[in-house]
């Protein structure tokens, strides 16, 4: 039973988790400019409490803003070197909303490409026994293909998670400094507050899902590695 469960996880569940991870990471990367303008962001500046007022949603590739809850959302262009538009925020707003290191969004994008390639290679290797004789060729069992699949997945995982971690640290410091200035200015400061968005939580969940097919791929690599003969 345990062997059957492990086989089911490796052949069927792991590819689904890989696809789910890829979809979630893509949403986080392109939001809020490309998709879900007000639903997903890495950083958000909003009115204090439940008041209606200006809001800015910041992501890896740009920002979206609206002067109040009923107005249309205006977004910047998608850009790997984004400049955030905070014109909807009141005067006196601390000018601290800047993008992290310029190469960070590029690294996230490259990691998504590796994740996409890994998804196709891993899914093919997992389900090729159901794709006919051509896909069942013995050459697909070679350690070289398993090796390449595992390394592509590992590079995508490390590059992406590290880039999101760097971005999280950058925006975490931005939120801290932003709110300190607002608190210091007291009643004369705009009634707004900065906070970390839900995009980072989604990214961590996505990488937790991605770890399952990655570990499965590396386990297959270990199983298919040629055994070294003991020295005589």
**Mean of pLDDT values over 104-116:** 94
Q: Is residue 205 part of a domain?
A: yes
Residue 198, in any domain of the structure: yes
What is the DSSP track for 176-225?
HHHHHHHHHHGGGS-SEEEEE-THHHHHHHHHHHHHHHHHHHHHHHHHHS
User: In the 8-state DSSP scheme, what is residue 175?
Assistant: H
In the predicted structure, residue 135 carries a pLDDT above the cut 70: no
* CA torsion, ordered 157, 7, 201, 162, to nearest 10 deg: -10
pLDDT over threshold 60, residue 228: no
pLDDT at 157: 95
Would you place residue 232 in the very low, low, confident or very high pLDDT band (cuts 50, 70, 90)? very low
Residue-wise pLDDT tens digits, 24-79: 999 999 999 999 988 999 999 999 877 788 999 999 999 999 998 888 899 999 99
pLDDT average, residue stretch 72-91: 89
Confirm whether 231 is domain-assigned.
no
Domain count, the chain: 1
Domain CATH code at residue 128: 1.20.140.150
Compute the distance between CA of residue 177 and CA of residue 183 in angstroms, rounded to an integer.
Answer: 10
Q: What is the largest CA-CA distance in the chain?
A: 83
Which pTM was predicted?
0.84
Residue 12 falls inside a structural domain:
yes
* The two three-digit tokens of residue 182, written as one number: 């607002």
Count of alpha carbons within 13 angstroms of residue 218, beta-carbon side: 11
Q: Looking at the domain assignment, is residue 45 inside a domain? A: yes
Please state, in angstroms and rounded to a whole number, the distance separating the CA atoms of residues 128 and 122: 10
pLDDT in tens, 199-225: 999 999 999 999 998 988 887 665 555
Highest mean pLDDT among 80-94, 141-155, 189-203: 189-203
pLDDT at 118 over 60: yes
Mean pLDDT across 124-137? 62
Give the pLDDT of residue 202.
95
Please report whether residue 68 resides in a domain.
yes
Asked if residue 229 belongs to a domain, the reply is no
- Full domain range(s) for residue 151: 2-224
* Residue 232 located in a structural domain: no
């Amino acid at each position: 039973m345990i062997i059957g469960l492990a086989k089911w996880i490796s052949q069927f569940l792991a590819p689904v988790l890989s696809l789910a991870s890829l979809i979630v990471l893509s949403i986080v990367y392109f939001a809020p400019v490309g998709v879900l303008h007000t639903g997903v962001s890495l950083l958000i500046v909003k009115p204090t409490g439940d008041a209606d007022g200006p809001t800015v949603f910041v992501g890896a590739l740009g920002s979206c803003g609206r002067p109040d809850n009923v107005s249309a959302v205006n977004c910047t262009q998608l850009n790997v070197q984004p400049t955030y538009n905070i014109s909807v925020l009141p005067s006196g707003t601390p000018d601290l909303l800047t993008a992290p290191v310029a190469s960070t969004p590029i690294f996230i994008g490259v990691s998504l490409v590796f994740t996409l390639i890994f998804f196709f290679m891993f899914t093919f290797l997992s389900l090729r026994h159901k794709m006919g004789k051509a896909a069942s060729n013995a050459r697909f069992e070679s350690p070289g293909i398993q090796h390449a699949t595992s390394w592509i997945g590992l590079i995508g995982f490390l590059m992406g998670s590290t880039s999101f971690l760097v971005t999280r640290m950058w925006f975490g410091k931005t939120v801290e400094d932003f709110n300190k200035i607002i608190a210091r200015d007291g009643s004369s400061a705009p009634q707004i507050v900065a906070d970390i968005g839900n995009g980072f939580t989604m990214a961590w969940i996505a990488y937790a899902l991605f770890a399952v097919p990655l570990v499965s791929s590396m386990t297959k690599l270990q199983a298919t590695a040629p055994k070294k003969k003991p020295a005589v």
